[in-house]
Amino acid sequence: MDNRTGQWQNYVVKLDNTPSISGVPAFCNSASYTVTNLLPGSTITWSVSPTGIINVPSAGNPITATKISQGNATLTATINGNPAETAALNVSTIPLISSISAIMNGSCNNGIQTWYVNATPNMTGATNWNWTVDNPTSGIYIYSPNSPNTYMDVSKGGGVSVTYTDACGETSQKNGVTIYSPCGYSFTVYPNPANSMVNISLQPTNGKTAIVGSSISEISIYDLQNNLQRHQLFNKVSNASIDVSNLPTGLYIVEIKDGAYTERHKLQIIR
């Protein structure tokens, strides 16, 4: 009985019967894949594009895919020979880092900011982790360089990169993240708050010693959602200015680069 009309009504529930492929997005040697949401009696024809990356049987459900070489491929299942009824899945045999998280751990301690950094591989069987500092002048100390997650002490700032070995014995592509110390700076950003022009000069603050040979090669300004609002290149200067007159009132992040060394400052814009 439908309380809205006081009469018996017939209702039809529409189920999602769209076929899909389930299985891991990356593998080293072999992996199983299954088409789900199939009607009874359905037949499956499998194909791969491009060829030469993985090998699959032409029919069956589930199937086992095997690696031929490193690469990325699209696995397609055609249902009942109908080109309009297919399911597809992107598959990789290249070991990658699917994500890197970097979070500040605690507050400044004697000019040092500690970070907790964690890398997630895209396939199982990862060994031989190796974190490295991109620039030896960035003031980054890695506690456990041979672990997927580690604490890092940062006195300046810059990039750290990681690789691992997959179950096939192949080394992953190099992946990285930028971490920095907000505990004291080698650059000064002024005026702050600002309303038209922002100046950046090579002057240490908070008792921090300037890095010998430092210069300004690049300035970027981001909003708090990490959207790039301003970007300008410089030829290794000690003083620079950037126009912010068209930016709305609010808080921003000024990112200053000196080669591989990166430093970030908070900036307030007022009108």
The stretches in the chain having pLDDT less than 50 are 1, 4, 11-15, 207, 209, 212
* pLDDT score of 185: 63
Closest Cα partner for 21 from 90, 123, 83?
A: 90
Query: How far apart (Å, rounded) are the C-alpha atoms in residues 63 and 77?
Result: 11
Which of 265, 260, 261 lies closest to 244, judged by CA? 265
User: Does 167 lie in the same domain as 192?
Assistant: no
Shortest CA distance to 34 belongs to which of 80, 55, 65? 65
Identify the domain containing residue 121 by its residue range: 97-180
Q: Choose among 168, 175, 138: nearest CA to 257.
A: 138
Q: Is the same domain home to 173 and 215?
A: no
Q: What is the pLDDT of residue 111?
A: 72
CATH number of the domain enclosing 201: 2.60.40.3580
Does one domain contain both 82 and 127?
no
The domain boundary residue, chosen from 154, 180, 206: 180
* Total of domains in the chain: 3
Q: What is the pLDDT of residue 13?
A: 43
The per-residue pLDDT for 16 is 53
Question: Are residues 240 and 222 both part of a single domain?
Answer: yes
The reply to whether 155 and 192 lie within a common domain is: no
Q: What is the CATH number of the domain that holds 30?
A: 2.60.40.1080
* Tens digit of each residue's pLDDT (9 = 90 or more) over 120-164: 999 999 999 999 999 888 889 999 999 999 999 998 888 999 999
Residue 110 is assigned to a structural domain of this protein = yes
Asked if residue 9 belongs to a domain, the reply is no
Closest CA to 158 of 15, 258, 41: 258
Distance CA 4, CA 2 (A): 5
Do 164 and 148 lie in one domain? The reply is yes
Domain termination site, one of 59, 92, 125: 92
Contact 22, 33 (CB under 8 A): yes
- Kindly state whether residue 7 falls inside one of the protein's structural domains: no
Say whether both 165 and 205 belong to one domain. no
Helix (H, G, I), strand (E, B) or coil at 77: strand
Pair (238, 252) in one structural domain: yes
pTM of the model as a whole: 0.63
CATH value at residue 119: 2.60.40.10
C-beta separation of 163 from 267 below 8 A = no
End residue of a domain, out of 48, 68, 92: 92
Same-domain pairing of 101 and 176 = yes
